[in-house]
Structure 1
Amino acid sequence: MRTVPLTHQRVTIQDDFDLDKILESGQCFRPRKLADGRCRFVSGKALLYLTPLGCGQYDAAWYGADWDVWAGYFDLGRSYAALRQSLAGQSAYLDAALAFGQGIRVLRQDPWEMLVTFIISQRKSIPAIRTAVEQLARCCGDPLCAEGDEVFLFPTPEQLCDLTEAQLTGCGLGYRTRYIQHAAAQAAARTLDLDALVGLPDDALFSRLLTLDGVGKKVANCVCLFGYGRTAMAPIDVWIQRLIDEEFGGRDPFPAYGQQAGIVQQYLFYYKRSISTQKK
């Protein structure tokens, strides 16, 4: 296990930013809150630890990418407080979701990780997804140690190609194993170049992702939103479909929100899932 140094810097975030809500928002599966109070984020080959200091101040400690890169990851160039204010008053349910979810943000994550993890996410609960993704990283991802914390990077396509079907299945992938194998083989051979898809318009990006084995509309929308920052894309899973049926009379509300549709989806998803879970 390789020990890597961390660069520390105090940063200020004055806009909506709640680490606990971000970690529980259902869009990311590898970030963790550690026992010492730090929150750990892993993206590609980069690590970030955020320690709240109060009054919007954080100790940021990183490896592999500086704070400017992580600011993009957290979408800090957008005011979510202003966005919430602009959306207020359109419906009582949305107002409740905006207030409940104050502090969440749509993360701009690694497209390869988003593709694999959301393929895994199909028909799995969030805790089960986290377990499977972590097992996959531990199975073949590069191990690092940063100030006493041991972490495994997300596997590259080549590393996944080196695993047997039995090893992949042992990570809890089930029937998704062949989908992951196909995606890894294409990415390793560069017949699937996720970096090259950055320049595609939303519709073309969505259509290209749909050509991949095991990728349906929900997974493609998730990769567009969380991997490429396409905030006009609003994934519809079982929680959102239930919300559409119960709160919006069966009519999809997201087209009306244009480029903010995906962000609105996150507020509604987080609220619907949270209050439904609390009632159990």
Structure 2
Amino acid sequence: MRITIHDDFDLEKIADSGQCFRFNKCGDGYSVVAEDRYVFVKEIDNAYEFSCTEEEFESFWKNYFDLDTSYKNIRGLINKSEDEYLYNASEYGQGIRILRQDPWEMLISFIISQRKNIPAIKASIEKICAIAGHKIAVDPEGNDVHSFPTPEELSKLTVEQLSACSLGYRDKYVHQAALDVVSGAADLDSWKEIDDDALMQKLLVLYGVGVKVANCEILFGYHRLDAFPKDVWINKVLDVKYPNGFLFDKYKPYNGVMQQYLFFYSRSNGVETK
């Protein structure tokens, strides 16, 4: 099906924004895998073609791409004269959206992400999907596409099998997370009903989950748009560009969107000290 999107929407920028690891350039478009669903999306004549039925788009992908939220209006909160750096970052990152991703998939993905670069994270995730998920599609380049394994599927892998997926020291964290979700010790679905502070506390109890991973899970897994994960790039931006503090109160409840603009802009262009 083909649709026109009248808001910020840029496939390349979303794919490169650091929030998703199964959203990749493929041929003349992008392959997107979420849970056990697959879609190929490409831009044609200022519209977007999705390789799915209208019913599937309306029931899943429209929500996944957060198309009921106006990111243009969110960018409108930024005053250039008040915060030129964030304004420039938002203009540069125009088109980024915060995807509505699955809490389970994001928990495992960001546990794996610790001290890994993005290509390495993606490679490890694909290895896990290949051995524990199931084939759901073939992409336009002829590659098999596998679902992200369920907690039950992943819990059946041994630590040794996980280690073979290039997880390094993270193998035991992933293994325990799967066991905790299967046992109900980590009830990710019920956690959707609690507030951000309580959610943070629940996540920090999990083996191998620190503040950064927890914030990524809150923002990208639970779509709490005020969460503000801090990595090397964001910490540098805050130190260099905001020595007197970032205007968190002004941008509430969209600080997570601002974080994405800052991350994308600083990682692409560096952070000038002058």
Fold in common (TM above 0.5): yes
Query: What amino acid sits opposite 2:172 in the alignment?
Result: R
Query: What amino acid sits opposite 1:221 in the alignment?
Result: N
Are 1:151 and 2:145 an aligned pair?
A: yes
Give SS of 1:232's match: coil
Tell me if structure 2 keeps the 8 A contact 1:254–1:265.
no
1:3 alignment counterpart: none
Give SS of 1:259's match: coil
Q: Distance in 2 between matches of 1:173 and 1:255?
A: 38
Q: 1:180 to 1:46 in 2, by over 3 A?
A: same
Are 1:20 and 2:12 an aligned pair?
A: yes
Residue 160 of structure 1 and its aligned partner are, at CA, apart by 1.5
Trace 1:134-145 onto structure 2 (pairs within 5 A): 134-145=126-137
1:98 to 90, 95, 103: 90
The TM-score, its normalising length taken from structure 1, stands at 0.90
Give SS of 1:193's match: coil
Tell me if structure 1 keeps the 8 A contact 2:38–2:136.
no
Residue 250 of structure 1 and its aligned partner are, at CA, apart by 6.3
1:247 alignment counterpart: 241
Trace 1:58-207 onto structure 2 (pairs within 5 A): 58-62=48-52, 66-68=56-58, 69-89=60-80, 90-146=82-138, 150-207=144-201
Query: What amino acid sits opposite 1:12 in the alignment?
Result: T
Query: What amino acid sits opposite 1:49 in the alignment?
Result: F
Residue 190 of structure 1 and its aligned partner are, at CA, apart by 2.2
Q: Distance in 2 between matches of 1:152 and 1:62?
A: 17
Q: Distance in 1 between matches of 2:232 and 2:262?
A: 13
Give SS of 2:9's match: coil
Residue 255 of structure 1 and its aligned partner are, at CA, apart by 4.5
Q: Distance in 1 between matches of 2:79 and 2:26?
A: 35
Q: Distance in 2 between matches of 1:233 and 1:197?
A: 15
Give SS of 1:151's match: strand
| Structure 1, 220-229 or 155-164: larger mean CA deviation | 155-164
Q: 1:149 to 1:169 in 2, by over 3 A?
A: closer
Residue 71 of structure 1 and its aligned partner are, at CA, apart by 1.5
Give SS of 1:204's match: helix
Pairwise CA RMSD of aligned residues? 1.7
Tell me if structure 2 keeps the 8 A contact 1:234–1:254.
no
Residue 62 of structure 1 and its aligned partner are, at CA, apart by 2.8
Give SS of 2:21's match: coil
Residue 253 of structure 1 and its aligned partner are, at CA, apart by 4.0
Tell me if structure 1 keeps the 8 A contact 2:158–2:175.
no
Are 1:235 and 2:229 an aligned pair?
A: yes
1:39 alignment counterpart: 30
Residue 149 of structure 1 and its aligned partner are, at CA, apart by 5.0
Q: Distance in 2 between matches of 1:32 and 1:99?
A: 23
1:275 alignment counterpart: 269
1:219 alignment counterpart: 213
Q: Deviations over 1:20-73 (max 9, x none)?
A: 0000000001111112x1311111122222121122x1111238x821221211
Q: Distance in 2 between matches of 1:22 and 1:101?
A: 9
Trace 1:248-267 onto structure 2 (pairs within 5 A): 248-249=242-243, 251-267=245-261
Give SS of 2:18's match: coil
Q: Distance in 2 between matches of 1:262 and 1:272?
A: 15
Query: What amino acid sits opposite 2:38 in the alignment?
Result: L
Q: Distance in 1 between matches of 2:256 and 2:72?
A: 16
Residue 191 of structure 1 and its aligned partner are, at CA, apart by 2.3
Tell me if structure 2 keeps the 8 A contact 1:244–1:253.
no
Residue 271 of structure 1 and its aligned partner are, at CA, apart by 0.4
Tell me if structure 1 keeps the 8 A contact 2:137–2:144.
yes
Give SS of 1:20's match: helix
Number of residue equivalences? 266
Q: Deviations over 1:192-238 (max 9, x none)?
A: 22111111111111111111111111111111111111001111111
Query: What amino acid sits opposite 2:41 in the alignment?
Result: L
